[in-house]
Amino acid sequence: MTLMSQKNREKMKNLHKLQLFQDQKIRSHWDEVAEKWYFSIIDIVEILTEQKDYQGARNYWKVLKHRLLKEGNETVTNCNQLKMSSADGKMRLTDVADTKDILRLIQSIPSKKAEPFKQWLAQVGKERLDEIENPELAQVRMKALYEQKGYPKDWIDKRLRGIAIRQNLTDEWQERGISEQRDYAILTAEISKATFGMTPSEYKAFKNLPVKSKANLRDNMDDLELIFTMLGERVTTEISKAEKPDTLVKNKKVAKRGGTVAGNARKDTEKELGRSVMNADNLLDLGKKLGKNSR
């Protein structure tokens, strides 16, 4: 049975995914609103022109962009800028273009790799269309990614279920008029604090994860932490569906109530176990433990 609806599954895409072209990485971003891919122009120029380094590709693009602007080429006009992870790990603005404009750009760069690159772009689009037609393909892809990281099957099943529950919750928040990422973060913090006594940023610090890093807190949780996270979010969703809160303040109260249900269950569990459910281990530590049974 499919774990999530098509709408939910489409949101599951990693927004800073690295696509691969002949073992070379191309930074990409899926825009949920526009429903299309954006690709790093510098990465593509580097591959097509076979530059030896990033700076060489950057200089090539600078000259090409100036020439195309003089010619009135719409490709440059249509370019956007997005923050993407750079070689030093920092998020920096870089020029990006969608599939249509990337194909136009390819026409302006003499390269023996042009045709294979067109085929690669077509394959990227096909894979996404296949997942829209069959959402289970997205689930299979996610499972494969977690298996590669060394997680055991039972943990992966919980993690995927948690993704579905989370997306159901964000869909419900959208129905209630919540659309800003900042507001999502506020509501998520309410659930987390009521469930675990910590906001997500505090929880990341507890697990020795850099608060401003891209490290996913839930990928660093063990089974019980995932279960109580799911419980808090699922109860919040059910309360919201029943009461239909129509302001951020009302949604915060619902989020706190949903998290409190999970928090009370966590405290009861801790009494029975004689230990805290919150685990200070991060992914590196969990990998040593979970990986024992992952192969």
Q: Which domains does the chain show, CATH number per domain?
A: 14-133 (3.10.260), 150-293 (no CATH)
At 32, the pLDDT band (50, 70, 90 cuts) reads: low
pLDDT digits 0-9 by tens, 36-49 = 778 899 988 888 88
In this prediction, residue 106 carries a pLDDT of 79
Other residues' Cβ atoms within 10 Å of the Cβ of residue 122: 12
| pLDDT exceeds cutoff 50 at 13 | no
Rounded Cα distance between 57 and 60, Å, is 5
Q: Please report, rounded to a whole number, the percentage of residues in the chain having pLDDT higher than 70.
A: 77
In the DSSP assignment, the letter for residue 53 is: S
Question: 228 near 195, Cβ under 8 Å?
Answer: yes
Phi/psi at 84 (5° precision): -135, 155
Report the mean per-residue pLDDT for the chain. 80
Rounded Cα distance between 271 and 186, Å, is 29
pTM of the predicted structure, to 2 decimals: 0.56
Rounded Cα distance between 261 and 281, Å, is 25
In this prediction, residue 75 carries a pLDDT of 73
Other residues' Cβ atoms within 10 Å of the Cβ of residue 258: 26
In this prediction, residue 53 carries a pLDDT of 77
Length of the chain: 295
More confident site: 89 or 171:
171
Extended strands (E) in the chain:
18-21, 24-31, 36-40, 80-85, 91-98
pLDDT digits 0-9 by tens, 216-244 = 899 999 999 999 999 999 999 999 999 99
In this prediction, residue 10 carries a pLDDT of 43
pLDDT digits 0-9 by tens, 97-156 = 887 788 778 778 887 777 777 666 666 655 554 554 455 556 677 788 788 778 888 899
In this prediction, residue 293 carries a pLDDT of 41
